[in-house]
Structure 1
Amino acid sequence: MTQATPPRPWLSSYEPGVPHTFTPSGLTLPDLLRRTAEKYPDRVAMSFIGANTTYGQLYKDAQRFAAALHKMGVRPGDRVSIMLPNTPQFVTSFYGTLLAGAVAVNTSPMYTPSELEHQLKDSGSETLVILDTFYPRYEEIRARVPVKRTLVTGVQDALPFPKNLLYPVKARREGTWVKVPFDDRVLSYPKVLASQVAAAAPSVTVRPDDVALLQYTGGTTGVPKGAMLTHSNLVSNCEQARMWMSDLRDGQEVTLAAIPFFHVYGMTVAMNLSVLTGATLALVPNPRDIKMVLSQITSSGATLFPGVPTLYNAINNHPDTPKHNLTSIRACISGSAPLLLETSRRFKEITGGANLVEGYGLTEASPCTHTNPIFGEQREGSIGVPFPGVDSIVVDDDGQLVAPGEVGELWIAGPMIMKGYWQRPDETAKTLREAHGRTWLMTGDMATMDPDGYFRIVDRKKDLIIAGGFNIYPREVEEVLMSHPAVLEAAAVGVPDEYRGESVHAVVALKPGATASETDIIAHCKGLLSNYKVPRSVEFRAELPKTAAMKILRRQLAQEARDSQKAKSA
């Protein structure tokens, strides 16, 4: 790169009131909770199936949890794995862990026993907080992991009377009840918390540069790695998001918390941003239960709804949606996966004009880096412009800046960039690069920047399909597939082709009651795509596989398509 200071053309696109510069506050995550609890002690922090917890009570519970951890031998820097859905126990455990000076390790409830074993071993977690329903998976690998103490909780522990008594009856009837074998190393979470009556958090020093969270990447490109995110990284990203949402009202908003907290996007834009601003978290433990999502929006009067495209798309097409009033929603930032144009248009219609804007981020960036203006110019198909304090460039294979409109790899710098990967200096060196006195995160995403500083993600470097020497970016094909009136979900992947090298294979799920044939889908694409981009084959599924954060597993679909093709030719 030849320029000492990369240009920032996006600053002219900022809305009035959004600052052009950003300086981290130097606060830690426990500082955020303490300040909000002092300012809004009686404000509802969490609403969960009829049970409300104020910020004053949340802070007290987090202190008690921290005291309990300290009493059990947890010390600053120790790792505490949290394997919970969006429940009050998650928020309490997370902030309590940090108040004890320990490091939280977000652990997906969807992990298989082998995935859980890898993460517990890799992180060196000696403490695990887990939902009773997930305990059998842990029991399989318990003897092989470093965990010394396990705190088990259940949904019933957070419910008000009489729901707390009725829930176990319901779970037994549905066959989901799990009897946990408590012993001196497997402890009852509510009993542990209750034993710390009016206990203060241990007196430990928590610094902004201390690691607060190990957030493991999805592992779709190999063995999952733990991104080390500091208090400063996570708080900075919350503060940047707060600056961007210029009309956000402290102490008045209600956040629909459906996106999982164990995913860094949900943790930052739902949980931590709400704590920073004194918003109420309307908790949804299962985002796949669209009826519950709709019900929570209506009953809570949710004003903010961070989510992912598949969640908005599911709401758009759910038969119960017309029965619910969704007009309380004012703003939504969609992240984690590309937001297709049809999804955005339809969601705006059913909510009466809610601003659903596409953003962008990565686990290694805490995660948010770009988004479209909430009320300013929103360019369709664009991830928008960088947050205040974020520098963003598009470079070629030699790290040289490319001209506006040209495709290159997206690099990002700012105070929210991770410290590195946990115990993997070699992987850190491949991902972080020093240039011009800054540390750049090499995203692996192919992007363009227009003259006004709006960025577009073309696709993942490794998802590129090359057919007959032509580069095909799956997202472009998926946009066309989703524009077919019968298509609910779609993915485009590359499969081997003897003549072209690769050809496009489409995997689609149809809307309930809709019909379409392979011929219909291909004919639709032929009218909108160059011939080399048109799918040569179409596979129909009832539902596309997704991660816990509801991101479509495109690479899994690609591998399955290749395996199927190989089996047919054998």
Structure 2
Amino acid sequence: MTTSALPTLIDLLAHNASAHAERAAVIAGDHVHTHAALYEAVQQQAAALAALGVCGGDRIVLVAGNRTEVLVLLGAAAWLGAVLVPLNLRLSPAEMAQQARDATPALVLVDADCAALWQAAWPDGMPGVQTVWLGASAGASLTIAGPNKAEPVPRQDAPELAVLMLYTAAVQGHARGAVLAQSHLTSSAQQIGLVWSLGQDDRWLGVLPLFHAAGIGLSLALLAAGGASVLLPRFDPAAAVAAVDLHNVTVSATFAPMLGAMLDAAQASGATLASLRIGMGLEPPAVQERLRALCPQSAFWSAYGQAEVSSMVCLGLQSERPGAAGRALPPSQLRIQDAAGQPVATNVEGEIAVRGPTVFLGYWDVENQRPFKPADPWHRTGDLGRIDGDGWLWFAGRTAAKQLIKTGGENVYPAEVEQVLLEHPAVAEAFVFGQPDEKWGEAVHAVCALKPGAVASSDELTSFVAQRLARYKRPQSVRFRSAPLERVAVAAS
């Protein structure tokens, strides 16, 4: 049962349309969309989607950048009881095709600026699935016509209906879709807003992609507070700094190395970023210190979260506990448990588990066309950590089963890269691992053993991976060893 005061996205949007009607909800380029206009656009879009045959439970694949339409479509999906499936624009064509295929959509919507990406994945379009192209301009609603406004879903379980699916957690080389209900998203938005004391005057700098849990989660947190998102189509440090000053942005969240680049741009232009009061991310101490020096009025927050828990589930001021990931956002609960799923004592390291109103419905079961997860109410994150006596979480890496590399805010699963390397005719064994990186947080590296008599260079294998997976998944280096590879020794050397 949700504890959210606004259990559905439609509740949230309708409240804002009444309470904050003429205040900005989304700012994208020269377009300023009020809360009233956003709610109106959602209703029009829901009607247009219904006219195209979209029904409750249907998946809508979206290939688009940071546009107002992404939020409009999420609201329209909620209105119809459908599920929006935004795809990561940094995927390779093969990855994009696989995720779209697994989602079995009723409709595909493609940003005109992303046409080449989609056409590379599906040169002749998805068989039997209609594709609708979004216009090049970022307006308040799509340009597909519809009849009268759609009626809200007349079901008592509307808060618990799936509304968003984000692909994550690769298993056997393929990502899985984490399915989130409306109540998960609204609960997460209000938890974040309470901790940060967000209000109608707050504005978030939307440089994180809306196909990521952090990006969509922060947009909804600002909407839940009656505030606004300032969406940028792509990250450009100078443009980001200019947007902060122009729109009085108060909240900034970044993936390394974005904040450092913004501070460079601010110092070069003489910008003071005077409106900024909240910074958040996984930035090294030196970058945090630069932010404090340039923006003494701001505070930097650390966080812990993942798509499966609807964005952030921990936040904490770095000045209070440097190096910690924060404390659980109430009423969500965190605990550390052992391999058997039993809780461990304070300051004992184990697997991080989460319980509460933001935990997802489960991973998308492709065969049965529904989300599935174990009955245990504690979600096992696959991450390691410990909780100190004051309730602060200290992140300690990943479990052996997860083996995740976090580079520039993106997830890379070693098994996925290893599988591709093994497809090269010269490679007998492959081991992929992460190493600390000053710029990206972590970087992908690989060690390979070649087949007898085979020849391959590091550049050749790096290019081989880049042609099949997203470029951020390619190894920064490939070293060669004799078979059999000793995985632990390789990672340590």
TM-score where L is the length of structure 2: 0.79
**In 1, Cα distance between equivalents of 2:443 and 2:42:** 45
Q: State yes or no: 1:449 paired with 2:398.
A: no
User: How far, CA to CA, are the matches of 1:323 and 1:565 in structure 2?
Assistant: 48
Describe how 1:155-174 pairs up with structure 2 within 5 A. 155-158=136-139
Alpha-carbon distance in structure 2 between the residues aligned to 1:298 and 1:496: 46
Q: Aligned-pair distance for 1:440? A: 0.8
1:42 Cα offset (Å): 0.8
CA deviations over 1:468-508 (Å, ceiling 9, x no partner): xxxxxx99x84xx74xxxxx44536776699xxxxxxxxxx
Is the CA contact 1:125–1:146 (under 8 Å) kept in the aligned structure 2?
Answer: no
Find 2:244's aligned residue among 259, 277, 297. Answer: 297
Distance 2:58 2:404 in 1: 40
2:111 maps to 131
Q: Quickly say closer, same or farther: Cα 1:230–1:79, change in 2 above 3 A.
A: same
Kept in 2, the 8 Å contact 1:82–1:94? The answer is no
Residues 47 and 283 of structure 1 are in contact (CA less than 8 Å); yes or no, is this contact kept in structure 2? yes
* Residue correspondence of structure 1 range 57-68 to structure 2 within 5 A: 57-68=37-48
Alpha-carbon distance between aligned partners in 2 of 1:91 and 1:31, rounded to the nearest angstrom: 15
Q: CA deviation at 1:203?
A: 4.6
Mapped pair 1:275 → 2:226: no
- Does residue 30 in structure 1 map to residue 14 in structure 2? no
Give 3-state SS (helix, strand or coil) of 1:361's partner.
strand
C-alpha distance in 2, partners of 1:89/1:343?
33
Correspondent of 2:303 among 359, 362, 370? 359
Instruction: Provide the residue aligned with 1:529 in structure 2.
Output: none
1:121-140 residue CA offsets vs partner (Å, 9 max, x unmatched): 11111212211122133234
Matched residues in 1 for 2:323 and 2:128: separation?
45
Q: Is residue 415 from structure 1 mapped to residue 357 from structure 2 by the alignment?
A: yes
Change over 3 Å in CA distance of 1:272–1:455 after alignment to 2: same
- 1:221/1:241 CA distance change after superposition, 3 Å: farther
* Matches of 2:482 and 2:113, distance apart in 1: 37
Report the Cα offset of residue 223 of structure 1.
0.5
Question: Which residue number in structure 2 is paired with residue 14 of structure 1?
Answer: none
Q: 1:390 to 1:317 in 2, by over 3 A?
A: same
Establish whether residue 348 from structure 1 lines up as the match of residue 348 from structure 2: no
**Which runs of 5 or more structure 2 residues have no equivalent in the other structure?**
406-432, 450-461, 486-493
- Deviation at 1:146? 4.8
Partners of 2:180 and 2:315 in 1: CA distance:
21
SS at match of 1:312: helix
Q: Partner residue of 1:81? A: 61
Deviation of 1:150 (Å) = 2.0
> Secondary structure at the residue paired with 1:372?
strand
| Partner of residue 306, structure 1 | 253
* Secondary structure in structure 2 of the residue aligned to 1:81: strand
Deviates more, 1:255-264 or 1:398-407: 398-407
CA deviation profile, 1:503-561 (whole Å, cap 9, x unmatched): xxxxxxxxxxxxxxxxxxxxxxxxxxxxxxxxxxxxxx9xxx9xx9x9x95x753xx53
Identity %: 22
1:422 deviation in Å?
0.9
What corresponds to 2:232 in structure 1? 284
- Unmatched tracts of structure 1, length 5 or more: 1-21, 160-188, 466-473, 483-487, 499-540
- Offset at residue 243 of structure 1 (A): 1.9
Output one character per residue of 1:310-347: Cα deviation in whole Å (capped at 9) or x when no partner. Answer: 2213223447655222121011232xxx4322222222
Alpha-carbon spacing, 1:231–1:339, altered in 2? closer, same or farther (3 Å): same
Matches within 5 A, 1:331-480: 331-334=278-281, 338-373=282-317, 378-423=320-365, 432=374, 434=376, 439-462=377-400, 463=403, 478=436
- Which whole-Å CA distance do the structure 2 matches of 1:106 and 1:491 have between them? 25
Corresponding residue of 1:149: 130
Aligned equivalents of 2:203, 2:304: Cα separation in 1: 23
**Between structures 1 and 2, the one with greater strand share:** 2
Deviations along 1:256-309, one digit per CA (max 9) or x if unpaired, are 11111111111012x11122111121111102x112111111111101112323
Q: Could you say which residue in structure 2 is the equivalent of 1:116?
A: 96
Per-residue Cα deviation, 1:427-479 (whole angstroms, up to 9, x for no partner):
x9997462xxxx011111111111111111111224599xxxxxxxx99x84x
Kept in 2, the 8 Å contact 1:117–1:144? The answer is: no
Decide which of 211, 223, 243 is 1:262's aligned counterpart: 211
Matching residue's letter, 1:277 = A
* Contact 2:167-2:177 within 8 A present in 1 as well: yes
Deviation at 1:66, TM superposition (A): 0.6
Amino acid at match of 2:108: L
Quick one: which amino acid aligns to residue 245 of structure 2? T
**Structure 1 residues 430, 226: closer, same or farther in 2, change over 3 A?**
closer
1:83-102 maps to which residues of 2 (within 5 A)?
83-102=63-82
For the Cα contact (< 8 Å) 2:256–2:441, is it kept in 1?
no
Contact 1:432–1:440 under 8 Å retained in 2: no
Relative to 1, partners in 2 of residues 1:430 and 1:48: Cα closer, same or farther, differing over 3 Å? Answer: closer
Q: Deviations over 1:17-71 (max 9, x none)?
A: xxxxx93336111211111011111111121222211111111111111111111
Q: Return the offset for 1:254.
A: 1.5
Q: TM-score, normalised by structure 1?
A: 0.69
Q: Equivalent residue of 2:254, what SS?
A: coil
Residue of 474, 480, 483 corresponding to 1:565: 480
Q: Amino acid of the residue matched to residue 86 of structure 2?
A: N
SS at match of 2:85: strand
Question: Tell me, what secondary structure is at the counterpart of 2:174?
Answer: coil
Partner of 1:163: none
Matched letter for residue 243 of structure 1: L
Give the counterpart letter for 1:58 in structure 2.
Answer: L
What is the SS of the residue equivalent to 1:224?
A: strand
Provide the aligned C-alpha RMSD in A: 3.4
